[in-house]
Amino acid sequence: MSLYAYVGGFTRTGAFNGRASGISVYEVDSAAGRFDLVDVCEIADPTWLTSSGDGRFLVAGLHGNVFRGEPGTALVSYSVDPVKGTLMEVSSQRLAHPHVAHLHFDRSHRYLIAASSLGGTVSAVAIGEDGSFLGVLDTWAAEGEPAVGAGQTPVSVDVKDGNFPGQRSPARLVRGRTTQPHAVEIHQSNRFVFVADLQQNRLHVLRFDPGTGSFGWCQSLAVGDQAGGPRDVRMRPGGHTLYCANSNATVTVCDFDPGSGQLSEVQTVTVDRGEIRGGRKGGFQSIVLHPRLPVLYGVSRAPGVITSFAVAEDGRLSVRATDDLGCVHSRCLAISPDSRLLVAVGTYDSTLIPFGIEPEYGHLQRLAPVVSSPTPASIVFCYAGPTLVLAMLNRKSAGQRAGGSTRRSVSGAGF
């Protein structure tokens, strides 16, 4: 069974004027960190990707404000060829609110939760067994002004910020006034959605009804300070600790009570990167938990640096190591399903940067060479091959005999 990586990038026709054409498909050797390009699936700005629990299909969230001539943006689903790993479009779902920055399946894999970053909303979209979209069920609008209204063209503004190529931003963002839902996470109970609101410096807790796909507001917790709001969130297995990566180079640790739906901040860890490339303190963009070991990895935007954190039994963090990626800007981390490989994307350097993961303690070892990939934004892994074909046939046959669904949900890490 072969391992494939799917890399969504900023495209030539998109908001950031990138160099990608769509989703690049690579066959991966996780031991060596080698990526061999297999195919490119053309689509505008597929900057966030996620896969179904069984690996049969992939969904792209588009970071745009027009989809096939209509205002708004879209989610696009693709079937994964079980032998070749290539993609074939199945369905698309237009969203009125533009610029999807993050996308997450719920725990049942019946719904997709999409954060429209510049549109200021979070949407629940139903999806069928074959990857076909069944419609938008609910949309929650955060407090504050959206950066880009539905159907509007964003105003490109001059900025002095290494996060934007050519020193141009696709929208005007005002901290504290604008709302910007940047990432979402689903609780293990499937009854809560956590939203990182970058411009409001808040973590929103939404109640989620897995029967209807609808939202209800529960809590908003202020985190960080005016210099750095939350960009990414991850829930620790067990459902009682939430990690929030902030744009001021800190990670906030929150306790969560599933009974009341309330978050409480218990720790803020500041990362000192003064020794790295002239003391630039790039804020965190993305965090990921090792699936088996008590380790959390975080990557910064500018400059690209990976920080490894040890996770204590009570969920608290301590900084263990920093690894300079050598890139100008990074946006995403991903761990291969066999836990042998961690990959960071070097967005404006157009690179994928692989690290081997030491199996006992999760220490990182830089692998060579760096992989060329045009303006990458996100990466996901899937298996494909004859073994997967047989497994899919067996699951389908078992589901038909039982008269039920063949879909399975994916549990979190076990540490």
Tens-place pLDDT, residues 360-397: 999 999 998 899 999 999 999 999 865 444 444 444 54
Question: How much is the pLDDT for 387?
Answer: 46
Is the pLDDT at 266 greater than 70? The verdict is: yes
Question: How much is the pLDDT for 152?
Answer: 65
408: in domain: no
What would the two tokens of residue 278 be? Answer: 């002239």
Count structural domains, the chain.
Answer: 1
407: in domain: no
Domain of 342 in residue numbering reads as 2-402
332: in domain: yes
Query: Averaged over 406-411, what is the pLDDT?
Result: 33
Least confident of 1-15, 223-237, 317-331, 344-358: 223-237
409: in domain: no
389: in domain: yes
Least confident of 48-57, 77-86, 282-291, 401-410: 401-410
Question: How much is the pLDDT for 136?
Answer: 97
412: in domain: no
377: in domain: yes
Q: Per-residue pLDDT tens for 147-178?
A: 777 666 665 555 455 445 454 555 566 666 67
> Which residues, at least 6 apart from 306, have a Cβ–Cβ distance to it below 8 Å?
297, 298, 299, 322, 323, 325, 333, 342, 344, 355, 364
> 42: exposed, middle or buried (C-beta count within 10 Å: 0-12, 13-18, 19+)?
exposed
Among candidate residues 412, 143, 194, the one with its CA nearest the CA of residue 291: 412
Domain CATH for 384: 2.130.10.10
362: in domain: yes
